[in-house]
Amino acid sequence: MSLTAVLPLFRSRLDALGYKEWDDVFNIENIPSTILNNSYHLEVSPVSGAGISHRVQNASMSVTLRVFLKGYRDIKTARDEAILSADGILCDIVASGTRLGTSVKNIIFDGYSLLPLDDSNDNAIIIEMNFTTFVAYAI
């Protein structure tokens, strides 16, 4: 088991839901407008470890998932669609068949926010979802 299984798990679930990954690892501000709708970006945070026994080492890693949705004329409609999209993603990722696997031991949903793309474009929305993932290393 390894933390290398975490990002492929998220990618496979989001790809299956019809989203496309924005590949720039660190910069989310340079996403082209041509692929803005239904794109996602994965960011990982520092990893924490905690031992369980003399043969198992647990590790957790925070994952921030950002989903980009193209703007609408009516921002209320955009917000409602973003909430619907977030619900679909959340239900898929925290389903027991996804989050309780052999490589990734668990995924905990920490929360999400709806954010404008930028100050001049508040009709395009970013869904920023936070998860904590857990793996165990057999030593």
Which CATH number fits the domain that encloses residue 55? 3.30.2000
The residue segments making up the domain with residue 63 are 3-28+50-138
pLDDT of residue 1: 60
| pLDDT bracket for residue 27 (50, 70, 90) | low
Q: For the chain, percent helix, then strand, then coil, each to nearest 5?
A: 30, 45, 25
pLDDT of residue 119: 67
| pLDDT bracket for residue 122 (50, 70, 90) | low
Confirm whether 87 is domain-assigned. yes
The residue-averaged pLDDT of 45-67 equals: 85
Confirm whether 129 is domain-assigned. yes
Q: How far apart are CA 139 and CA 121, in angstroms?
A: 50
Structural domain tally of the chain?
1
Confirm whether 36 is domain-assigned. no
